[in-house]
């Protein structure tokens, strides 16, 4: 019984690891986007998950209500508005930092740029 269980477990693990390999020509970066393909802009929506017009003034409370694409747009705009900062060239680090610091209730009324350290 134990030997059969181990064989089934090993086969399942091998199958899962091979399924994740893919064909190799669809390389994906950490954000889930394919490398080497042009980014397409999403049409503007009026839902609460859309990025606000004034990204530099968005608070952590507002940031937490955004969807993933809107969060990414806000961070990219903040980095573009504040060149030479600590997150220059690292938008994924800036996004992760913003998500973490905005979880703290004490940062709810702070701007994302201030709470995440994008601006002094």
pLDDT tens string 32-42: 555 554 555 44
For residues 88 and 31, which has the higher predicted lDDT (pLDDT)? Answer: 88
Residues 64-78: tens digit of each pLDDT: 999 999 999 999 999
Query: For residues 96 and 79, is the Cβ–Cβ distance under 8 A?
Result: no
CA distance 118 to 93: 11
Domain spans of the chain, in order of start: 58-120
Q: pLDDT tens for residues 76-120?
A: 999 998 888 899 899 999 999 999 999 999 999 999 999 999 986
**What region, left, alpha or beta, does residue 32 occupy, with left being phi > 0 and alpha being psi -120 to 50 degrees?**
left
Q: Is pLDDT at 21 greater than 70 in this prediction? A: no
């Amino acid at each position: 019984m134990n030997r059969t269980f181990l064989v089934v477990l090993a086969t399942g693990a091998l199958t899962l690891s091979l399924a994740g390999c893919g064909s190799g020509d669809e390389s994906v970066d950490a954000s889930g986007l394919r490398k080497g393909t042009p980014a397409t802009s999403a049409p503007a929506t009026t839902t609460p998950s859309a990025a606000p017009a004034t990204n530099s003034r968005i608070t952590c409370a507002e940031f937490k209500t955004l969807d993933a694409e809107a969060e990414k747009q806000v961070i990219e705009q903040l980095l573009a508005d504040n060149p030479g900062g600590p997150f220059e060239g690292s938008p994924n680090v800036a996004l992760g930092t913003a998500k973490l610091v905005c979880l703290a209730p004490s940062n709810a009324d702070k701007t994302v740029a201030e709470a995440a350290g994008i601006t002094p």
